[in-house]
Structure 1
Amino acid sequence: MKIGIDRMAFATTNEYIDLRELAKVRGVDPNKYTIGIGQDQQAVVPPTQDIVTLGAAAARKLMTKQVGDHLSTIIVATESGVDNSKASAINIKELLGLNDYVRAVELKEACYAGTAGIQFARGLVALHPQETVLVIATDIARYGLQTAGEVTQGAGAVAMLISATPHILAIEPTSVNLTKDVMDFWRPLYATEAMVDGKYSTNVYVDFFKQVFTRYQMMTGRQFNDFAGLIFHLPFTKMGKKALEGALGDRHDQVATRLRTALTASQLYCRQVGNVYTGSLYLALLSFLQNRQVNAGDRLGLFSYGSGAEGEFYTGIVQPHFLDHTNDVQAMLQKRHQVSITEYEDMFNHQLGMDEQDVEFDLSNDHAPFVLAGQKNHQRIYKRQ
């Protein structure tokens, strides 16, 4: 039985900043951001958007009556949860108007949780092949203004349908996991911004990739030449380059060139959106599929990483007519509105965050399909528009 990703869609905010402008305001050489980190633009989050509204907006693009009739479960993967108890999947289920017999849960393990959601979904579909599972990887990356991590912020959501009739990627059975207790990145319950040891985290990421890929090779006998592309979790695009170059070494043959070209294609959307945590690997997958010549039957390798730390390498086979089952991400990104650095800072400072006060937001400037209207009696208020 084939089980895998049937359809995919991406959503982000309607606002962004140019990181060259941020570099000027911060007194930094723009090349440090665009070359050293590998980022060009960054999604900006207005107070009226959060992981629930973004996740619902991405999932809405996949919803049809047929999907709704066969949907059994919603799995939301996030490290930007809005409640320590209630799953954001329930809020999304309500915004989408789905029936009450849909299971809804939330997963957490830093940026890895989206992959965990896919693997759990595969198990559910294997038990009930007639059912479909919706996996949503939705996050807002916050490190704080004028911090070292500011340039690696971002926001967005990738929604994926997992079924026994996948039209995008049929996931192969062999995968390799690696779990270690590592303090490279974390966010205590009392904090709205993450804490990170950037250089250490990058080193752990590269080491995890080498370990899981080497073990995968030992288990399967497959080598680099068996892949049309290797897709990486990209909190910033230079990170994927470090992992690939660390594995390829000084190879410059045809296979190495193919993998480097594939990496460049996978980086394009991440360069324009920034870090979307649990969704970063799958935004990279969308970018690769939509910006590279890909053929049905091609094998792709996917490296998922979540600080703390969890890594996994797994593979999938590209299906015929896969592009017909994705949304046009580049067209969506081109419709966004660039804001000034002052406007970005104002929006950053007016997020609902962990404030317990009642708040009512002005919704007149937000034309997204779903909005966060505010908070009353310690409850977030969501609305369809």
Structure 2
Amino acid sequence: MKIGIEKINVYAGSLVLDIEKLAIARGRDVNYFKEELMLDSKSQNVDFEDVITMAVNAAKPIISEQDKEDIEMVIFATESGLDFCKSNSTYVCKYLGLKSNVRNFEIKNACYAATCAVQMAISWIASGVAPGKKCLVVSSDINYDHAGRSGEEVPAIGSVAMLISDKPVVIEYELGKNGYYTFECTDYARPTSTWDIINPQESLYAYLECAVGSWQHYKKVVGQDLDLNSYFKRIIYHTPFGGLVKLAHGNILKESYPGIKKSQIKENFEEKVMKSFKIPRAVGNTYSSTVYTCLLSLLLDDDEVKPGDRIGIFSYGSGSCAEFYSAIVLPGAKEYVKSLKIDEHLAARRPLTVEEFDHLAQLRSSHAEKPTFQTEMNYPEGWYDKYYKGKGLLIFRGAEDFIRKYEIS
């Protein structure tokens, strides 16, 4: 049985901040942001969008009427949960118009959550308990108000929707080829709805340890003396920022080829990894969506990737849990991904000033824990009418006694 991604889409919001503007405003090194971290810009939400609207707006364009009949599982992967009890997934079922006979739930496991959801979907389909049925996985997250804090340049907002089925079009997962690695740490955490713990050095070392550890386990599980260069056409990584991925890939190369030279590591990184950075560089770290924006980037930008090529995939979530797994590129993948018009979606975002960016982050934080509020519909001024009005996008109007209110634009 073939199992993989039948459909996929990304929603990266409608606003964007040039990373150079942020660096200058904060008195930081522009070259460090752009060359070392490999960041160009980051997406931001209007006040009337949240993780629910982004998830629905990512999924809606790719879900057909037949899909609505075939979907019997919905998994919402997020570290931006809205309630200690109610699952975000119920909103997705409602606003996509899915039938009532759908198992749905929410998964939290930092930036590993989407991969965890995908692996659960794979196992459910492989079990054969619901022949021909499909699982919709949505990952959606927002950043917090980080104004002036170390690391604020990295996190962003965004959502990816994936339809997992036994009729894959984009990639086919190699069942059973999975390596895991975990240990407890607090490199990043969200103890409240407005404040997150950011330990940059601990996060760096945790990511690097998990990358090598999960790769070693992958090799053990597969049971072959793998040659990384010939076995994988490309490798994609969870990409908070490109500089971290460069270090991790270098460590895996050193583990695989003792004595490898720095120049060889650089050349290998540029060949095997860098063409997966297009969307993360333009959007920022979208948490558990990021590894899938790397997949989309690869299929959009790498002309050398062909049907039948094997892609290595590394997913990491703070706290920590990591997985190294693999998939095969399918014949219809590139044509399908190009049909999504992702470049047009990213180009349509409105550029922000740093002041506007900060104001929007503060607006979102000001709503947290409030039982009743209305979202600001006219900031930036006139943007709702220009980008949203009459477009059929889901928007967030606010809450009344903690009950959230949504409507179609």
Partner of 2:182: 179
Q: Does 1:292 align with 2:302?
A: yes
Q: Does 1:157 align with 2:159?
A: yes
Partner SS, residue 297 of structure 2 = helix
Q: For 1:289-321, what per-residue CA distance to the aligned partner results, in whole angstroms no more than 9, with x for missing partners? A: 111021110000100100000000110011101
**Could you tell me how far 1:150 is from its partner in structure 2?**
0.8
Identical residues among aligned pairs (%): 28
Q: 2:370 aligns with which of 356, 362, 368?
A: 356
With normalisation by structure 2, the TM-score equals 0.90
Change (3 A) 1:33 1:253: closer
Partner SS, residue 364 of structure 2 = coil
Q: 1:239, 1:289 → 2: CA distance?
A: 22
Moved more, 216-225 or 18-27: 216-225
Q: 1:276 aligns with which of 261, 269, 286?
A: 286
Q: Does 1:380 align with 2:395?
A: no
Contact 2:181 2:321 in 1 (8 A): yes
Change (3 A) 1:254 1:321: farther
Partner of 1:76: 76
Partner SS, residue 13 of structure 1 = coil
Change (3 A) 1:202 1:71: same
AA aligned to 1:319 is L
Partner SS, residue 186 of structure 2 = coil
Q: 1:309 aligns with which of 314, 320, 325?
A: 320
Q: 2:61, 2:261 → 1: CA distance?
A: 41
Partner SS, residue 17 of structure 1 = strand
Q: Structure 1: which 5+ runs fail to align?
A: none
Partner of 2:61: 61
Q: For 1:84-142, what per-residue CA distance to the aligned partner results, in whole angstroms no more than 9, with x for missing partners? A: 11111111111112222222210001000101100110122122230010001111122
Partner of 2:242: 237
Q: 1:88, 1:5 → 2: CA distance?
A: 22
Partner SS, residue 345 of structure 2 = helix
Q: For 1:36-79, what per-residue CA distance to the aligned partner results, in whole angstroms no more than 9, with x for missing partners? A: 22211011122111110001010112111111111111101000
Contact 1:10 1:159 in 2 (8 A): yes
AA aligned to 1:318 is V
Q: 1:266 aligns with which of 254, 271, 276?
A: 276
Change (3 A) 1:251 1:315: farther
**Could you tell me how far 1:258 is from its partner in structure 2?**
5.3
Moved more, 346-355 or 370-379: 346-355
Q: 1:62, 1:382 → 2: CA distance?
A: 21
Superposed, 1:100-179 pairs within 5 Å as 100-126=100-126, 127=128, 128-142=130-144, 144-173=146-175, 174-179=177-182
Q: Structure 2: which 5+ runs fail to align?
A: 255-259
Partner SS, residue 331 of structure 1 = helix
Q: 2:145, 2:358 → 1: CA distance?
A: 13
Change (3 A) 1:378 1:96: same
AA aligned to 1:336 is R
Partner SS, residue 351 of structure 1 = helix
Q: 2:282, 2:235 → 1: CA distance?
A: 20
Q: 1:143, 1:217 → 2: CA distance?
A: 40
Contact 2:279 2:294 in 1 (8 A): yes
**Could you tell me how far 1:248 is from its partner in structure 2?**
1.9
Change (3 A) 1:255 1:197: closer
Change (3 A) 1:143 1:260: farther
Moved more, 111-120 or 322-331: 322-331
RMSD over equivalenced CA pairs, Å: 1.7
